[in-house]
């Protein structure tokens, strides 16, 4: 083989090897870049998914916490209602027991006297309203209230005892009934337990 031809072929072979090496480097770099891009994209998608999952978990936690708070409030209101109802029932029971006690007639007379005095009806006419069970004390009340003309009438609106005095001439009433006192107590229970009691 001619020396010139051999040199020429060697030159082409060397150039080919250099081109192949350069092409291999370029392919490797492109592969590395694509791999890096895919990895970065995968990491970004994973981070976004993780963030979305965390946000979803946080939202679910908030919803669960809100639900627990609502349930606790409902239970608290129910307990308040039970306590208020029990307190009201206990008070009514004690009032009923008191009106059966031997001391009640004297208390009823004292309430009637106080009501009439509060009306300033001495020397005038007064109507006393009682519950049906207390009408048996009518005569004793008339005797107790001297200096005033007393009419005693049954009032179906009084269920627990006590008395309501009324002066028609003055257009005034003095309510000393236990029913009104119980309503006031229930109202205080409502304020105490932060709710209305029916």
- The answer, as to whether pTM is greater than 0.75, is no
SS3 per residue for 75-99: HHHHHHHHHHHHHHHHHHHHHHHHH
How far apart, in Å, are the Cα atoms of 177 and each of 20, 66, 79, 96, 141?
113, 46, 30, 13, 15
Give, in order, the Cα–Cα distances in Å from 163 to each of 97, 110, 114: 17, 10, 10
The model's pLDDT over 147-178, given as tens digits with 9 standing for 90+, comes to: 899 999 999 999 999 999 999 888 899 999 99
pLDDT band at 198 (very low <50, low <70, confident <90, very high): very low
pLDDT digits 0-9 by tens, 20-40:
666 666 666 776 777 788 888
Residue 161 β-bridge partners: none
- The CATH superfamily label for domain 103-192 reads ATP synthase, E subunit, C-terminal (3.30.2320.30)
């Amino acid at each position: 083989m001619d020396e010139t031809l051999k040199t020429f072929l060697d030159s082409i072979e060397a150039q080919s090897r250099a081109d192949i090496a350069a092409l291999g480097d370029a392919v490797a770099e492109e592969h590395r870049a694509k791999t890096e891009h895919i990895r970065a994209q995968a990491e970004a998608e994973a981070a976004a998914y993780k963030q979305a999952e965390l946000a979803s978990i946080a939202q679910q936690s908030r919803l669960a916490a809100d639900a627990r708070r609502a349930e606790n409030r409902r239970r608290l209101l129910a307990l308040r209602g039970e306590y208020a109802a029990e307190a009201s029932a206990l008070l009514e029971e004690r009032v009923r027991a008191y009106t059966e006690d031997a001391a009640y007639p004297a208390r009823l007379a004292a309430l009637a006297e106080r009501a009439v005095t509060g009306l300033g009806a001495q020397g005038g006419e007064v109507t006393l309203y009682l519950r049906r069970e207390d009408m048996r004390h009518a005569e004793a009340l008339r005797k107790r209230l001297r200096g005033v003309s007393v009419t005693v009438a049954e009032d179906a609106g009084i269920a627990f005892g006590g008395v309501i005095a009324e002066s028609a001439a003055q257009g005034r009433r003095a309510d000393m009934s236990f029913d009104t006192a119980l309503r006031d107590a229930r109202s205080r229970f409502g304020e105490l337990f932060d709710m209305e009691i029916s």
